[in-house]
A = this chain, B = another copy of it.
Amino acid sequence: MAYPYFQAVELLRQHTPLVQCLTNSVVMQFTANVLLAAGASPAMCDTPEESADFAAVANGVLINAGTPSSEQYRGMAEAIRGATAAGTPWVLDPVAVGGLKMRTDFARGVVDKRPTAIRGNASEVTALAGLGAGGRGVDATDSVDSALEAARRLASRTGGVVAVSGPEDLIVSPDRVTRLHSGDPMLQLVIGTGCSLGALTAAYLGACRGSGLSLHDAVLAAHAHMGVAGQIAADRSQGPGTFAVALIDALHGVDVEDIRTLSTIQEDLG
């Protein structure tokens, strides 16, 4: 491969993509710090009045329905409208879909708008596709493999990429399935690592446009960046507090060689 997924981190740092995050209050600060450390530029612009205009100038947009208010829902609809009109890539993170009717209905409606990528754990992806009951909050209670069929259906319905995050990650496009080995269990003990991975996915989609790298590779690169940073951080920490701090350092310090040597992929599992 002339330009494989592990080199995309250089595109990210060259382009410093502006990522508009419509996300939940719990993880806003962490998400912004993840983007800054990794090499992107965050903007937590989410009001109904400003979201469409901002989505037109952003390089990527994140729609995360973690703590939905009625005002945020209207902001999300506006951001999707603005992103779609301008051709800005955007990511849906269906947090806790399945367990709660309101956000499940909302997220399923968002799927019809054809997100460039969807990122969730196995329970959320399964529930989003209408195949399962969903998780309790943000826990993954199903294995990633159990969500393969759901991910395929969503990918074929949207024409986009669906990422199932877990101990391993599955990256699923209509014509390609990749399994990524990276990460560390400690990532589960820090709030917002999954949500900020959704934001990082939007950053990579923006950074990789026009590079010849596929959407699939961009999503894969985002997951490998976070996973490898997690592995490096685990070696430098004594618990979830020092891990979270070391993770931000590692997101900043990680380079092509780290991602090449510390992550592995398997193609065409389907």
- Tell me which of A68, A238, A239 has the highest count of chain B C-beta atoms within 10 A of its own C-beta: A239
Q: A25-B25, A49-B102, A103-B50 are in contact. Are A240 and B43 (CB under 8 A)?
A: no
A103 to B51, CA, bound (A): 12
Contacts of A27 in B (CB 8 A): 29
A100 to B50, CA, bound (A): 7
Minimum C-beta distance from A28 to chain B (A):
4
A29 close to B26 (CB less than 8 A):
yes
Please tell me the size bucket of the interface on A.
35 or more
Contacts of A192 in B (CB 8 A): 29, 32
Contacts of A248 in B (CB 8 A): 239-241, 244
Mask for A124-165, Cβ within 8 A of B = 1, else 0? 000000000000111100000000000000000000000000
Q: In A103-121, which residues have CB < 8 Å from any B CB? A: 103
Is A261 at the interface (CB under 8 A from chain B)?
no
Least CB separation from A75: chain B residue: B69
A67 touches which one: B47, B68, B239 (CB < 8 A)? Answer: B47
Which listed segment binds B: A34-42, A78-86, A215-223?
A34-42
Minimum C-beta distance from A185 to chain B (A):
12
Is A252 at the interface (CB under 8 A from chain B)?
yes
Is A204 at the interface (CB under 8 A from chain B)?
no
A244 touches which one: B33, B103, B139 (CB < 8 A)? Answer: B33
Is A53 at the interface (CB under 8 A from chain B)?
yes
A18 to B41, CA, bound (A): 32
A25 touches which one: B44, B70, B137 (CB < 8 A)? Answer: B44
A44 close to B24 (CB less than 8 A):
yes
Is A96 at the interface (CB under 8 A from chain B)?
yes
A191 close to B32 (CB less than 8 A):
yes
B244 close to A240 (CB less than 8 A):
no
Minimum C-beta distance from A70 to chain B (A):
8
B241 close to A244 (CB less than 8 A):
yes
Contacts of A99 in B (CB 8 A): 54, 57
Given A33-B244, A189-B252, A239-B252, 18 extra CB contacts under 8 A: A26-B28, A26-B32, A29-B29, A29-B191, A29-B192, A32-B191, A36-B189, A37-B189, A41-B136, A41-B137, A43-B138, A44-B67, A45-B67, A53-B101, A238-B249, A240-B248, A241-B247, A241-B250
Q: List 11 A-B contacts (CB under 8 A).
A: A18-B136, A25-B44, A32-B191, A33-B191, A37-B239, A45-B96, A50-B103, A57-B99, A239-B250, A241-B245, A244-B248
